[in-house]
Amino acid sequence: MIVVLRATAGPNEALRLRDWLSCAGFEVATTHDAGREVLVASAIGEPQPDTVSRLRADPAVERVVPLERPYRLVARMARDTRTVLVGDVVFGGGEIVVMAGPCSVESEDQITAAARHVARSGAKVLRGGAFKPSTSPYGFQGLGVTGLVLLRDAALESGLLTVSEVMDPREVDIVARHVDILQIGARSMQNFDLLKEAGASGMPVLLKRGMSARYEEWLLAAEYVALAGSERIVLCERGIRTFEPTARNTLDVTAVPAVKSLSWLPVAVDPSHAAGRSDWVPALALAAVAAGADALLVEVHPRPSESVKDGVQALDPAAFDDLMANLRLISRAVGRSVSTVPETVS
Ligand code: PEP
Ligand code: MN
């Protein structure tokens, strides 16, 4: 909170209030505004409930402005830990979690080949859309429940977890029954009914940043999910709309350290939808990990040229292997790691 003293309050009054705030469990910094002393008091632990009213009643105080951020459950200060556990996969720990797979589930052959390959390279989660947002009503909108079944079976065979998008609050239940993580897409970040329904399911949620969303709006979207019942949320930066049209979006690398300083939630980066072309994806993925990202969501297709959706930004298996090798180098440089090929997968 900010405590603005009256212009008439002298140095002794300021000293008295500073001492009182320190004794009441606040860390006090002092600044000046138009000649008045302003105390910026941050609570250490849980302050007394009557602190604000007592300050307001003090003759030396002109006004008290509570400075709480609007989100609470997902705020950095709300927790000491930063991890989210999904099955046996830890997001936000020492190991960077790689989620990889095609934009959309297209066929059994396609998703099985993708799953086998990304598992062999060290990915932990298989991605694949079954309910797809499409800008054009004529575009591919996914295989629906059939796609979810194919995704789940391919993942099970390769020992992977799954993540897939849900767009409609009425479909949360069916998607939740097939996947390990519900993805909420950029276009749905402020679909508040969807956020509430996803939270109420208790499922882990991968929450993409809306393409024009500010950090606070993104964190408030996460707060909706947390408030509704699931605090297992992983944020995902996927590029924002800027004035630059060359890339599909502009990857906001700043979001990684910025949001991690505001929230305890792990942060993933999707370099594929940011770059929009496969040859730029590795650089963005490496930058994300160097900046402190906890996870990556990467589009990989066994045969990108045959892809029904987003083929131009999909890595082929060889490019994905190269990326994983380079990710291991970068992650080591920043004190993290990327899982290696499990012994059981050959
Ligand atoms: C996706 O991951 O397939 C997707 C549609 O992403 P976004 O919501 O970020 O556009
Ligand atoms: Mn896509």
Which CATH number fits the domain that encloses residue 28? Answer: 3.30.70.1140
Residue 174 falls within a domain, yes or no?
Answer: yes
- The H or E element containing residue 146 is helix 145-158
How far is CA 142 from its chain centroid?
Answer: 24
Residue 72 falls within a domain, yes or no?
Answer: no
Give yes or no: residues 152 and 47 share one domain. Answer: no
Task: List, for residues 77-91, the tens digit of each pLDDT value.
Answer: 888 889 999 999 999
Pairing of strands 2-5, 61-65: antiparallel
Mean pLDDT of 171-193: 98
Residue 77 falls within a domain, yes or no?
Answer: no
* Residue 209 DSSP class: P
Ligand 2 mean position, distance from CA 59 (Å): 60
Give yes or no: residues 152 and 222 share one domain. Answer: yes
- The H or E element containing residue 194 is helix 192-200
How far is CA 126 from its chain centroid?
Answer: 17
Give yes or no: residues 125 and 260 share one domain. Answer: yes
Residues 6 or more apart whose CB falls under 8 angstroms from that of 235 comprise 207, 209, 218, 219, 222, 259, 263, 265, 266, 267, 268
Name the least confident of 32-36, 257-261, 287-291, 337-341. 32-36
Ligand 2 mean position, distance from CA 46 (Å): 44
* Mean of all residue pLDDT scores within the chain: 93
Mean pLDDT of 254-264: 97
Task: List, for residues 8-65, the tens digit of each pLDDT value.
Answer: 998 899 999 999 999 988 888 777 776 778 887 777 666 677 888 899 999 999 988 7
Task: List, for residues 275-313, the tens digit of each pLDDT value.
Answer: 999 999 999 999 999 999 999 999 999 999 999 999 999
Counting ligands in written order, the one closest to the CA of 276 is: 2
Give yes or no: residues 272 and 218 share one domain. Answer: yes
Atom from ligand 1 closest to the CA of residue 187: 8
Atom from ligand 1 closest to the CA of residue 188: 8
User: Which candidate, 262, 317, 323, places its Cα nearest to that of 288?
Assistant: 323
Pairing of strands 161-165, 181-184: parallel
Residue 23 falls within a domain, yes or no?
Answer: yes
Give yes or no: residues 175 and 314 share one domain. Answer: yes
Residue 76 falls within a domain, yes or no?
Answer: no
Name the least confident of 7-21, 123-137, 178-192. 7-21
Atom from ligand 1 closest to the CA of residue 236: 9
Q: How far apart are CA 208 and CA 47, in angstroms?
A: 34
- The residue whose CA is least distant from atom 6 of ligand 1 is 185
Q: What is the pLDDT of residue 81?
A: 87
Candidate from 270, 272, 299 with most ligand 1 atoms within 8 A of CB, to mutate: 270
Q: Residue 56 to residues 51, 60, 99, 105: CA-CA distances in angstroms?
A: 9, 9, 51, 59
What are the structure tokens assigned to 345, written together? 């997968």
Percent of the chain with pLDDT over 70: 96
Ligand 2 mean position, distance from CA 60 (Å): 59
Give yes or no: residues 49 and 183 share one domain. Answer: no
SS3 9: coil
What are the structure tokens assigned to 254, written together? 């700043």
Give yes or no: residues 133 and 217 share one domain. Answer: yes
CB atoms within 10 A of CB 204: 26
Task: List, for residues 143-168, the tens digit of each pLDDT value.
Answer: 999 999 999 999 999 999 999 999 99
pLDDT level of residue 253 (50, 70, 90 thresholds): very high
Query: In the predicted model, is pLDDT for residue 343 greater than 90?
Result: no
Q: What is the pLDDT of residue 161?
A: 98
Ligand 2 mean position, distance from CA 296 (Å): 14
- Cβ-contact 297, 272 below 8 angstroms: yes
Ligand 1 mean position, distance from CA 186 (Å): 6
Give yes or no: residues 50 and 192 share one domain. Answer: no
Mean pLDDT of 318-342: 94
**Residues enclosing ligand 1, CB less than 6 A?**
103, 129, 133, 185-187, 208, 238, 270, 273
Q: Burial of 316 by CB count in 10 Å (0-12 exposed, 13-18 middle, 19+ buried)?
A: middle
Give yes or no: residues 207 and 237 share one domain. Answer: yes
Q: How far apart are CA 287 and CA 285, in angstroms?
A: 5
User: CATH code at 88?
Assistant: 3.20.20.70
Q: What is the pLDDT of residue 46?
A: 65
What are the structure tokens assigned to 79, written together? 């927790």
Q: How far apart are CA 78 and CA 71, in angstroms?
A: 10
Residue 167 falls within a domain, yes or no?
Answer: yes
Give yes or no: residues 49 and 93 share one domain. Answer: no
Q: Burial of 62 by CB count in 10 Å (0-12 exposed, 13-18 middle, 19+ buried)?
A: middle
Atom from ligand 1 closest to the CA of residue 133: 5
Mean pLDDT of 214-232: 96
The packing angle between helices 215-228 and 192-200, to 10°, is: 40
Q: How far apart are CA 131 and CA 168, in angstroms?
A: 9
What are the structure tokens assigned to 233, written together? 């949320």
Q: Which of 66, 101, 116 is the last residue of a domain?
A: 66
Residue 9 falls within a domain, yes or no?
Answer: yes
Mean pLDDT of 60-71: 81
- The residue that leads in pLDDT, 212 or 64, is 212
Give yes or no: residues 141 and 188 share one domain. Answer: yes
How many domains is the chain partitioned into structurally?
2
Residue 13 falls within a domain, yes or no?
Answer: yes
- The residue whose CA is least distant from atom 4 of ligand 1 is 185
Ligand 2 mean position, distance from CA 114 (Å): 15
Mean pLDDT of 257-262: 97
Q: What is the pLDDT of residue 73?
A: 87
Residues 6 or more apart whose CB falls under 8 angstroms from that of 98 comprise 118, 121, 122, 123, 124, 125, 295, 296, 298, 324, 327, 338, 339
Counting ligands in written order, the one closest to the CA of 134 is: 1
Query: In the predicted model, is pLDDT for residue 345 greater than 60?
Result: no
Q: What is the pLDDT of residue 346?
A: 47
Give yes or no: residues 157 and 27 share one domain. Answer: no
Q: Residue 38 to residues 10, 24, 300: CA-CA distances in angstroms?
A: 12, 17, 54
Query: In the predicted model, is pLDDT for residue 241 greater than 60?
Result: yes
Q: Which of 33, 66, 99 is the last residue of a domain?
A: 66
- The residue whose CA is least distant from atom 10 of ligand 1 is 186
Q: What is the pLDDT of residue 95?
A: 98
59 is in which domain, residue-wise?
Answer: 2-66
Q: What is the pLDDT of residue 344?
A: 54
Atom from ligand 1 closest to the CA of residue 129: 3
Name the least confident of 67-76, 77-86, 311-320. 67-76
Mean pLDDT of 91-101: 98
Mean pLDDT of 213-233: 96
Q: What is the pLDDT of residue 37?
A: 81
Query: In the predicted model, is pLDDT for residue 104 greater than 70?
Result: yes
- ∠ Cα 116 109 339 (to 5°): 15
Task: Please give all residues whose CB falls under 5 A of ion ligand 2, grouped by chain where several chains appear.
Answer: 103, 310
